[in-house]
């Protein structure tokens, strides 16, 4: 087994069982991409077994902090089994669920979502890429799913020196051309999902509980006019209509996503006349709506990731502040703002400050009605706070 040694003083994060070791913390040693190495402190003490990634700034991702543990096929079967078993303990109101959430499940770089009988996996780091075949077999064996589609086509792969990969990894007999267009159930709603071309693995499962909360809030506050920004395939639109909203304006810059949003509205039996899907830049449209004197009783802001790392935080903060300022001005008195950030480089405290700054610039105050995060099948562990990527605020305008 190859050994990588850590610089003096840089072992503290590993002693706290944080799974990342950055390039600057490595004193010596190297390995092939994804190869498992022994990680030692400067004085020779064992720290972890980790996957080596020679091109990534995260040079090592820890598999285990137990010196006696072997990193083999049985290890991955155990970790996958534990992750799947944990999800069975959760009250997930859907047949679509996240089964593996990377570092939180002790499998850095691996994301696996289940859509009915189909699994969709992302192999985002060199370590899980090296064990891909073993992991695929273990997933199908543990879940009993019929097929597994790969969506390893994100920028995270580039940072690992890995080429994008997408397509069927495992399929049943005569199933090589299985449909990638699926239907899922969430709460009392149904959504169409394309696991081949949709965002992430096809759908934003992390917003599942927040969509239900939005439907309940629309109902409770008797909301009539809703503005759904960055609407993607209409999850919050369906929630708004289910809550009794009279009119929903949904904005996105993707025509295919808007078409699917309209289809999802119809799929759930709502009158198409209550839902308008607009292909436009959100920032520009917010300004135009404000100039036109429009007002809304509830607004959803769920923008794409603007700050993947802390290095992007300052620029992203300006963008978040601007759209929140415009949204707060567009809200009618007593209106609700559901605002989110999925940027890992923006923590919950900073996001609150950004929204507060937007309120000051808009000359608007509001009550923080709720703080939101990802659904529980997207867990954060106490040793890996970076896992808290999705954060949200519900603001009740005064």
Active site residues: 342
| Cα R_g (the chain), whole angstroms | 22
| Whole-number Cα distances in Å, 91 to 86, 109, 375 | 11, 25, 10
Nearest to 214 by CA among 198, 228, 199: 228
For CA atoms 356, 357, 359, 360, the dihedral sign is positive
Rounded CA-CA distance 174/182 in Å is: 18
Rounded Cα gap, residues 144 and 150, in angstroms: 17
C-alpha distances in Å from residue 362, one per residue of 243, 325, 359, 365: 28, 5, 5, 9
Question: What is the side-by-side strand order in the sheet with 3-6?
Answer: 20-22, 58-64, 46-52, 36-40, 3-6, 26-28
Polymer length in residues for the chain: 398
Q: How far apart (Å, rounded) are the C-alpha atoms in residues 293 and 270? A: 27
46 three-state secondary structure? strand
- Beta bridge mates, 51: 36, 61
Q: Report H helices in 183-269.
A: 208-220, 235-242, 255-267
């Amino acid at each position: 087994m190859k050994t990588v040694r850590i610089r003096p003083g840089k072992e503290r994060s590993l002693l706290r069982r944080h799974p990342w070791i950055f390039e600057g913390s490595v004193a010596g040693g190297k390995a092939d991409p994804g190869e498992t190495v022994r990680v030692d402190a400067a004085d020779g003490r064992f720290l972890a077994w980790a996957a080596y990634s020679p091109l990534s700034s995260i040079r090592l991702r820890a598999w285990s902090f137990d010196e006696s543990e072997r990193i083999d096929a049985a290890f991955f079967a155990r970790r996958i089994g534990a992750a799947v078993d944990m999800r069975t303990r959760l009250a997930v109101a859907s047949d679509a669920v996240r089964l593996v959430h990377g570092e939180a499940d002790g499998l850095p770089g691996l994301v696996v979502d289940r859509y009915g009988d189909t699994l969709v996996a992302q192999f985002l780091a060199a370590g899980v890429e090296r064990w891909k075949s073993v992991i695929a077999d273990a997933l199908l064996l543990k879940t009993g799913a019929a097929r597994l589609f790969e969506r390893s086509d994100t920028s995270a792969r580039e940072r690992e020196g890995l080429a994008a990969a997408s397509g069927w990894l495992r399929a049943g007999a005569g199933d090589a051309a299985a449909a990638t267009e699926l239907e899922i159930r969430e709460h009392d709603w149904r959504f169409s999902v394309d696991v081949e071309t949709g965002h992430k693995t096809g759908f934003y499962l992390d917003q599942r509980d927040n969509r239900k909360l939005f439907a309940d809030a629309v109902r409770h506050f008797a909301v009539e006019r809703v503005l759904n920004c960055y609407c993607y395939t209409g999850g919050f639109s369906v929630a708004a209509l289910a809550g009794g909203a009279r009119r929903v304006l949904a904005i996105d810059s993707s025509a295919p996503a808007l078409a699917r949003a309209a289809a999802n509205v119809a799929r759930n039996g709502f009158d198409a006349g209550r839902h308008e899907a607009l292909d436009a830049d959100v920032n520009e449209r917010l300004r135009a709506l404000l100039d036109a004197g429009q007002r809304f009783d509830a607004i959803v802001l769920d923008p794409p990731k603007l700050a993947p790392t802390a290095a992007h935080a300052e620029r992203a903060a300006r963008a978040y502040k601007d759209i929140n300022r415009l949204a707060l001005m567009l809200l009618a008195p007593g209106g609700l703002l559901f605002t989110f950030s999925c940027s890992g480089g923006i923590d919950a405290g900073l996001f609150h400050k950004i929204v507060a700054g937007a309120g000051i610039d808009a000359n608007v105050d509001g009550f923080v009605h709720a703080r939101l995060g990802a659904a529980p099948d997207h867990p954060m562990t106490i040793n890996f706070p970076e896992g808290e990527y999705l954060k949200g605020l519900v603001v009740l305008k005064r």
